[in-house]
Amino acid sequence: MFDFDGVIVDGRVEYWNSSRKALLELLKEKSTVPRLPKNVPSAFQQLRPWVKNGWEMVLITAELTRHESPLVTAGVKNFANNYKINCKKALNEWGWNPDQLQNVLDRVRKETININKDKWLKSHVAFPGLQKRINQLVTVEKIDFAVLTTKSTQFTAELLNYLNLHPKLLYGHEAGEKTDLLRQMSKNHTIAGFLEDRRATLETVLKTPDLNSIPLYLASWGYLKPDDTKDLPSNIHLLKPENLMSPLAKWS
């Protein structure tokens, strides 16, 4: 079982492009529309490890344009230290809700794909060695792979096909919470491991009684917070690229 963004692909360029377009769509009827850089801002990249859902990145993009935002006035570290509170306050300041932002984000992605699908696909870059290694798991070790992601199912399917990766199962954000989906899957499948770059997600799985026997792996190459690799619980294993290339049985 693989997470997608931050484990298989680096999608930060695409996320910025889509979040930027989504914000401009949200503000199109305003008298003044903020100028946004085409290149990914450092603050946006630095906050990626705290993001759980796509709509949050639209909100972060908006906060980069609001002069009174704590992201602007106090910086990335301060915003990250109070991430959930700052996001809640930002939603109130803008008068938005998560579903609204997610819907706009999904819509502008669809528009981008329709206009220039090839360019959209190329804005995602697979982490080195991931495509080959996943296909080896399937063809050599005879292990089916599945993808569990907070990205849209449709967009993830497009990207996996582009990368020549074909999971047996694919669940996007529409399907529900990862713990619920893992529980559902475990009823009919043996889960040989769950590879994720969000430590908090792995810790939640570990604390879930009927899921705590699943081998859990933290991707060292993913979108990690500065302290994510420190003092890991014994049942969460830090997986480095060189470990990834070894047989699955040797990952732990």
**SS3 at position 148:** strand
223 φ/ψ sector (left φ>0, alpha ψ -120 to 50, else beta): beta
Asked whether 65 and 108 are in contact (CB, 8 A), the reply is: no
Q: What is the mean pLDDT of the chain?
A: 93
For residue 159, what pLDDT is reported?
93
pLDDT at 205 over 80: yes
Q: CATH topology for 125-250?
A: Rossmann fold (3.40.50)
Asked whether 141 and 248 are in contact (CB, 8 A), the reply is: yes
Query: What is the pTM assigned to this prediction?
Result: 0.84
153-171 tens-digit pLDDT? 988 998 999 999 999 999 9
Distance CA 226, CA 81 (A): 12
Distance CA 179, CA 185 (A): 10
For residue 150, what pLDDT is reported?
82
Higher pLDDT, 22 or 154: 22
Buried b (16+ CB within 10 A) or exposed e, 158-170: bbbebbebebeeb
53-103 tens-digit pLDDT? 889 999 999 999 999 999 999 999 999 999 999 999 999 999 999 999 999
Amino acid found at 175: A
- Beta bridge partner(s), residue 22: none
Distance CA 94, CA 231 (A): 38
173-192 tens-digit pLDDT? 889 899 999 999 998 899 99
Asked whether 86 and 70 are in contact (CB, 8 A), the reply is: yes
> Once rounded to an integer, what is the mean pLDDT over residues 233-242?
94
Residue indicated by tokens 């298989």: 8
Order the strands of the 194-196 sheet from edge to edge: 194-196, 216-219, 236-239
Apex CA 117: angle with CA 16 and CA 5, to 5°?
A: 45
pLDDT at 31 over 70: no
Break the chain into its structural domains and give their ranges: 12-122, 125-250
